[in-house]
Amino acid sequence: MKHLLILLAWMLPHQADGTLFACKNAKVSLYSKAPLEDIRATSATAASVYKATTGEVAFNVPIRSFKFQKSLMQEHFNENYMESDKFPNATFKGKVQSLPDLTKDGTYAVKATGDLTVHGVTQNRTIDGAFTVKGGAVSFNSEFTVKCVDHKIDIPKLVFQKIAESISVSVTATYIKN
């Protein structure tokens, strides 16, 4: 797998002219605030790609990679809510609207419009985020909410007090320039 990545990374510059940014250890955190319980989970193995020439941006996070405080929650998250055996990944594929100049240091607030797919249900979303360039290193972060009902994630009445209807998601990616 590593060799393949290196190979791809080696091949891609020829076609992308050094404008492709990639990250394979992006961090995605979930936070659900409900009357009875606050639930947090984090994945540090999301993948992201940003193409500076066109503004295309893509994220992919394996559902199974989310780690919870409680092992039972993690099991329920996969088994009952996200059905990770049927829908193993959550993705976002979109385009950044006004392209920031990533050659200069600074923070650039952007809006990305595209398809957010969670639990097999795709929603067209516009998500706020920001690129940060510091000493040539490019990173991206964003915070947004996902409504369970929009993605057909059922929460039974019995646990309504424990799980929020909308989940806050925060994403951080530090890119490597290809």
Partner 1 sequence: MKSTIALCLLAGAVCTVRAQTTPPAKTSSADSLLNAMSTTADNEPVIATFKASRLIFSQTTETVKKGNLNFVVIHRFGDIGGSAGGGKTLWGLDNSSDIFIGFEYGISDKLDLQFGRSKFEQLLELGLKYHFLQQTADDAMPFSATIIGKTGLKPYSVTTNVFKPYTNRLNYFTQLVIARKFSTNFSMQITPSYLRNNLPFPYLPDNEKNFFVLGGAFRLKVTKRSGIVVDYHHPFSSFRSSNNTTTNFYDPIGVGWEIETGGHVFTLNLSNSQAISEINYLADTESSWGKGQFRLGFTISRMFELSGRSKNKY
At residue 74, the 3 state secondary structure works out as helix
Q: Does 7 bind partner 1 (CB under 8 A)?
A: yes
Long-range Cβ pairs for the range 133-137 (8 Å, 24+): 133/102, 133/103, 133/104, 133/105, 133/106, 133/107, 133/108, 134/105, 135/105, 137/174, 137/175
Contact status, residue 27 vs residue 42, Cβ threshold 8 Å: yes
* Options 6, 33, 79, 105; binder of partner 1; rule CB under 8 A: 79
Q: Does 155 bind partner 1 (CB under 8 A)?
A: no
- The span of 11-19, 105-113, 116-124, 125-133 binding partner 1 (CB under 8 A) equals 11-19
Residue 136: what residue type? G
| Contact set with partner 1 (CB under 8 A) | 1, 3-5, 7-8, 11-12, 14-16, 20, 22, 24, 29, 40-42, 46-51, 53-54, 56-60, 62, 64, 67-72, 75-76, 78-80, 83, 85-86, 88-89, 93, 154, 156, 158-159, 162, 178
